[in-house]
């Protein structure tokens, strides 16, 4: 049974102490391990990495994923144009904790000169471990302008960009790509060779084209082809939703690491190689408190609770009786209100103080393994 809330201030303190203690333990463990692979001279301990995701891979969520086993951090992607205008929000996306290292700051743009200049500014100002260039975003307003996956249509610009970045920056430069613009222009091998030949230190590959976006199935075979064709580390990405998927993509591609995106939302325990169904109710409720605490500390009480809503709906997905409280949690405007509602739901759930519908009864049967307290 999870600890009951005794006011939001106590809840937030408990969550933050837990997070900071876990970071200390992670650093201690890392010092005793051998690197899984290197990004140039940067050692990476582990083979699972949280994918950069706009609106999700912010500083609080990255910290939680690192605590649970993500081997390094990638920021959300940031527009070089926004950085050039000193947009406060753009620079805030790049804030990170020292405990997150290795940290990659990811930029996007269609303008090569601006990408080079702003990458230099980021390195001088923030001192990340690597600079990563986004060549995978499929959103039309970005890709249609030649940024993100739009760069895949101009391999010569990729060559110029990476040649200049690798010669200019003191830190490694990496890239995240897709298989190509569409099925008729799957130029992933050409792009991979261009990246390696022009100084890239690692490549992350999403197994879909730009046109596919997130539809259809990811094709992992090209990831294996890229791994066989280059000597720099290759990180596989796309449709990794379970522990079995992690094992399959590694076996099928030989990739050095696996990048996990949407499957980590609501289940950051996947970085501990735990599937959603294997996470106990106590673990889930404890992490909800911890995550809320981090969001409120970082964003402030109002924005923190608003931005946390999209996470909590994933954390409680599939939990019996969650439908009774979901709407209320999603409309909370203060941490106090959220904590009161959440605590009441948790206590009633643990007392089994609900009338089960047929749907809930089926869910409960599927969820029985998750309600047992974790072993001491």
Chain mean position to CA 189 = 25
Task: Take residue 143 and report the two structure tokens written for it.
Answer: 């890709």
Q: How far apart are CA 229 and CA 224, in angstroms?
A: 9
| Among candidate residues 222, 209, 226, 220, the one with its CA nearest the CA of residue 246 | 220
Q: How many whole angstroms separate alpha carbon 200 and alpha carbon 194?
A: 9
Residues across the chain: 376
Three-state DSSP class for residue 197: helix
Beta bridge partners of 37: 44
Whose CA is closest to 286, among 14, 7, 8?
A: 14
With CA atoms as reference, report the closest residue to 276 among 306, 245, 234: 245
Look up residue 280 and give its two tokens.
Answer: 């106990």
Instruction: Please identify which of the residues 11, 105, 137, 370 carries the catalytic annotation.
Output: 137
Nearest of 209, 156, 177 to residue 52 by alpha carbon? 177
Query: What does the alpha-carbon distance between residue 283 and residue 2 come to, in Å, rounded to a whole number?
Result: 8
Question: Exposed/middle/buried for 286, CB within 10 Å: 0-12, 13-18, 19+?
Answer: middle
Q: Is residue 137 among the annotated active site residues?
A: yes
The CA–CA distances, whole Å, from 358 to 320, 355, 362, 363 equal 11, 10, 6, 9
Q: Which residue numbers are catalytic?
A: 137
């Amino acid at each position: 049974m999870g600890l009951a809330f005794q006011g939001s201030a106590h809840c937030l303190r408990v969550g933050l102490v837990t997070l900071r203690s876990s970071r200390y333990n992670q650093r201690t463990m890392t010092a005793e391990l051998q690197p899984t692979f290197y990004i140039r001279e940067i050692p990476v301990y582990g083979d699972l990495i949280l994918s950069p995701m706009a609106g999700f891979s912010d500083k609080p969520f990255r910290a939680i994923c690192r605590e649970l086993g993500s081997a390094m951090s990638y920021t959300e992607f940031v527009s070089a144009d926004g950085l050039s205008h000193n947009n406060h929000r753009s620079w805030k996306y790049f804030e990170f904790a020292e405990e997150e290292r290795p940290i990659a700051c990811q930029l996007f743009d269609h303008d090569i000169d601006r990408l080079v200049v702003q990458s230099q500014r980021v390195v001088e100002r923030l001192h990340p471990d690597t600079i990563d260039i986004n060549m995978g975003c499929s959103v039309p307003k970005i890709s249609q302008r030649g940024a993100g996956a739009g760069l895949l249509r101009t391999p010569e610009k990729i060559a110029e960009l990476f040649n200049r970045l690798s010669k200019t920056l003191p830190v490694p430069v990496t890239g995240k790509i897709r298989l190509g613009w569409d099925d008729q222009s799957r130029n992933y091998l050409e792009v991979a060779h261009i990246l390696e030949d022009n100084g890239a230190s690692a490549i992350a590959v999403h197994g879909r084209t730009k046109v596919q976006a997130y539809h259809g199935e990811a094709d992992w075979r090209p990831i294996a082809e890229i791994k066989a064709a280059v000597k720099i580390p290759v990180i596989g990405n796309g449709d990794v939703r379970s522990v079995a998927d992690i094992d399959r993509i590694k076996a099928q591609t030989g990739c050095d690491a696996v990048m996990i995106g949407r499957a980590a939302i609501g289940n950051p325990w996947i970085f501990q190689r735990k599937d959603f169904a294997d996470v106990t109710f106590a673990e889930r409720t404890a992490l909800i408190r911890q995550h809320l605490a981090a969001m409120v500390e970082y964003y402030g009480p109002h924005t923190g609770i608003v931005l946390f809503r999209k996470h909590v709906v994933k954390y409680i997905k599939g939990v019996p009786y969650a439908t009774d409280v979901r709407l209320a949690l999603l409309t909370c405007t203060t941490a106090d209100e959220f904590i009161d509602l959440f605590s009441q739901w948790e206590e009633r759930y643990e007392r089994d103080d609900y009338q089960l519908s047929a749907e809930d009864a089926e869910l409960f049967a599927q969820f029985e393994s998750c309600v047992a307290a974790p072993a001491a």
